[in-house]
């Protein structure tokens, strides 16, 4: 039989051992809780199990019409991508010309929704930026890239869908004016519509039959015709109906005659291919108004003595002059009269537009530029 001292000693050892285990357990739990509080839990997504966006519906052949630019053209719908956790998913739509392998994709839209719609105008712009040619049927490839969170990550791509469409030109229609005047007037080769320097007229709108532009003729009795394309075969050209070349009436036929400009100068040319009419208005330009040295011209000034005349520069194809100006209003007008004048927006002058204004007086060089049809502008550079 164990004596009482030994029994007591064993009892104390057992109690102390259990207390130690309890203390270690508590410390372990405390450390674990501390670690959980100090560090965010890490979730691991098995990337190979995540599939890209699954496109449900989309058009395949699309008709683009400039007259319906604001209409909806294409809506693409897809299923949500399952990343197996609650996180925002960002969808980026990309576009590329067919057969390019998305070497230089265009961003076609960004959304957190599961559908995206382009208007006719937006899709047409996207097609042109992607490399499709206006007025030619082409293939536009679309894909959707999904990513986790707003900063991206774990990108997955959908299958590629192909839209067959014909983009329309975003430029208004033009007419070309080849003639025997071109070389002498600084416009490139004579009688060559394909020459990039051949003057053009621009339509009033995409569907309008009315065209306008300014052209300089260096010599008297200059001749020209009007062509609807840059083709040097003159197919579909417009000319005058009679030998005089000055009737103001057009004929679209191989038998048409040259249009003749009897007197050299700078002309505003207006053409209506539906009414088959044309006008040639010879112009000399000036700047006038309270900001100019002689102020506004009065009704008793029929010869425009108040105007400051501009000088045409055949090399730069702009009208120019240097003059002292004050902080006030001014306009541009032709032929010492108000029949033809420009004001309004400095970057795109409008015929008969509001007065222009100068904020700070001084000596200025002014240029008036009519070289781009229907996009008329001016500059004022302080000397």
Query: What is the structure's pLDDT at 307?
Result: 94
Query: What is the structure's pLDDT at 3?
Result: 54
Q: Tokens 């083709």 belong to which residue?
A: 231
Query: What is the structure's pLDDT at 110?
Result: 93
- Cα–Cα distance measured from residue 266 to residue 318, given in angstroms and rounded to the nearest whole number: 11
Measured from the Cβ of residue 368, the count of other Cβ atoms closer than 10 Å reads 20
What are the CA-CA distances from residue 308 to residues 31, 213, 355, 358, 366 (Å)?
Answer: 90, 24, 16, 16, 11
Query: What is the structure's pLDDT at 242?
Result: 94
Query: What is the structure's pLDDT at 53?
Result: 78
Query: What is the structure's pLDDT at 51?
Result: 60
Structure tokens at 221: 């009795």
Query: What is the structure's pLDDT at 151?
Result: 63
pLDDT < 50 stretches in the chain: 1-2, 7-9, 11-13, 15-50
Nearest-5° angle of CA 327, CA 329, CA 335? 130
pTM of the predicted protein model: 0.69
- Cα–Cα distance measured from residue 283 to residue 310, given in angstroms and rounded to the nearest whole number: 11
Query: What is the structure's pLDDT at 102?
Result: 94
Structure tokens at 237: 């050209």
SS3 label, residue 154: coil
Query: What is the structure's pLDDT at 207?
Result: 84
């Amino acid at each position: 039989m164990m004596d009482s001292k030994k029994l007591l000693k064993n009892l104390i050892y057992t109690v102390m051992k259990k207390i130690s285990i309890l203390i270690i357990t508590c410390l372990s739990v405390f450390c674990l809780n501390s670690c959980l509080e100090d560090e965010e839990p890490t979730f691991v997504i098995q990337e190979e199990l995540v599939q890209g966006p699954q496109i449900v519906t989309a058009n395949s052949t699309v008709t683009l019409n400039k007259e319906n630019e604001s209409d909806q053209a294409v809506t693409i719908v897809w299923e949500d991508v399952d990343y197996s956790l609650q996180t925002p998913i960002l969808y980026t739509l990309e576009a590329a010309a067919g057969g390019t392998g998305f070497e230089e994709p265009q961003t076609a839209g960004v959304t957190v929704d599961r559908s995206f719609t382009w208007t006719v105008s937006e899709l047409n712009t996207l097609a042109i930026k992607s490399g499709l040619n206006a007025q030619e049927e082409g293939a536009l490839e679309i894909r959707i890239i999904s990513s986790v969170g707003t900063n991206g990550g774990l990108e997955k791509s959908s299958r590629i869908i192909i839209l067959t469409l014909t983009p329309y030109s975003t430029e208004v229609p033009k007419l070309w004016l080849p003639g025997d005047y071109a070389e002498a007037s600084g416009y490139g080769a004579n009688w060559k519509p394909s020459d990039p320097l051949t003057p053009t007229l621009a339509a009033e709108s995409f569907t309008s039959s009315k065209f306008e532009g300014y052209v300089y003729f260096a010599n008297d009795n200059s001749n020209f015709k009007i062509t609807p394309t840059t083709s040097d075969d003159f197919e579909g050209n417009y000319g005058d109906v009679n030998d005089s070349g000055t009737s103001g009436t057009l004929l679209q036929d191989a038998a048409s005659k040259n249009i003749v400009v009897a007197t050299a100068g700078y002309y505003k040319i207006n053409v209506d291919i539906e009414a088959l009419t044309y006008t040639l208005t010879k112009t000399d330009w000036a700047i006038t108004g309270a900001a100019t040295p002689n102020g506004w011209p009065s009704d008793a000034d029929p010869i425009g003595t108040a105007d400051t005349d501009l000088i045409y520069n055949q090399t730069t194809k702009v009208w120019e002059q240097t003059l002292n100006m004050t902080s006030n209003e001014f306009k541009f007008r032709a032929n010492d009269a108000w029949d033809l004048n420009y004001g309004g927006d400095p970057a795109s002058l409008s015929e008969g537009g509001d007065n222009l204004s100068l904020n700070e007086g001084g000596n200025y060089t002014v240029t008036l530029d009519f070289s781009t049809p229907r996009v008329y502008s001016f500059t004022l550079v302080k000397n």
